[in-house]
Amino acid sequence: MVTGSSRTAETFYSMKDFLKQTGGVAVIDGGLATEFERHGADLNDPLWSAKCLVTSPHLIHTVHLDYLEAGADIIASASYQATIQGFEAKGYSREKSESLLRKSVEIACEARNTYYDKCGTSSSSGIMDDKILKKRPILVAASVGSYGAYLADGSEYSGIYGDSITLETLKDFHRRRVQVLAESGADIIAFETIPNKLEAQAFAELLDEGEVKIPGWFSFNSKDGVNVVSGDSIKECVAIAETCEKVVAVGINCTPPRFIEGLVLEIEKVTSKPILVYPNSGESYDADRKEWVENTGVGDEDFVSYVEKWMDAGVSLLGGCCRTTPTTIRAIHKRLVTRRSLFSSNI
């Protein structure tokens, strides 16, 4: 497998090979918007975190680098809520909208290169001032949020789009966006917070059309620990991913930590692909006020206490979503040291 910034179209079709290089388990980064706001960004905008592509690209680079230095093996671009339609609604041309999508991936790739440069000057231990500076395989994932994320009305947390939204509607909405992101230098596409079976089918069919040359992962969200947020069966949703050759991992994101183990046990029944989880902090989201409700989630220590259970249940890629931070990711990285050493010694 090729690592670093040089890639071929086939480089990361085998997620299992990547996991062998990362000690049997890989760390995904944490929340972006949380960190942008901590650094002073105002995200009260339909573009949400994608607003920073216009106003604060340097800030995106900084946060990507923070996650790499915390031990993340995979960083996701700031394109979750970046869509051509959303940028056009803000007055940007089609050309500029596509340029901003490409920019999201380019910034993540630049951050990876910056990180590798810093690794070359670090101490032999690979740790400096509590920063992980160790040259290793790192993937850049192009983030693709759901249609509900574009609507910016909280419907990615309900999966209810209305009868007028069909399979073809969703494919037409996402097609060009996915193509642009796939051609921007990313290693994999992260189809995230998928709220219903219909959108999973749309993503699978787009991958099967053949225009997208890199693989993807599918990640669903749940609010009851049994089904995806729309009420569709998690096993039926995962079965769609299982039949799509270009989907190389499947799992759960933006879901409270307490629900993860049970969902993973259900997912494992219907997939042979690596399972990923990157839950939120457990806090609830107020769609009307467009903000997270404070003090409804778990702290980093409690969050990380779940890690062994998740891996014992079958998880091999894990990180955090909304309201998690580089501190969370650093704690996950530290929890995995022993397990990774055991994996490496058994190869």
Structure tokens at 267: 């997912």
Tell me 162's DSSP state: -
Long-range contacts of 11-18 (CB under 8 A, 24+ apart): 11/187, 12/139, 12/187, 12/188, 12/214, 12/215, 12/248, 13/215, 13/246, 13/248, 14/248, 15/215, 15/217, 15/248, 15/249, 15/273, 15/274, 15/317, 16/274, 18/137, 18/139
Q: CB burial class (10 A; 0-12, 13-18, 19+) of residue 283?
A: middle
Contact in structure between 323 and 297 (CB atoms under 8 Å): yes
Residue 36 to residue 162: CA distance in whole angstroms: 32
Residue 250 to residue 154: CA distance in whole angstroms: 23
Q: How many CA atoms lie within 13 A of 286 on its CB side?
A: 8
Could you tell me where the beta strands, DSSP code E, fall in 119-199? 127-128, 131-132, 139-144, 188-194
Structure tokens at 62: 């900084």
321 annotated to a ligand binding site: yes
Strand bridging mode 285-286 / 291-292? antiparallel
> At 278, is the secondary structure helix, strand, or coil?
strand
322 annotated to a ligand binding site: yes
Query: Which segments are annotated as binding site?
Result: 254, 321-322
Which residues participate in the annotated binding site for Zn(2+)?
254, 321-322
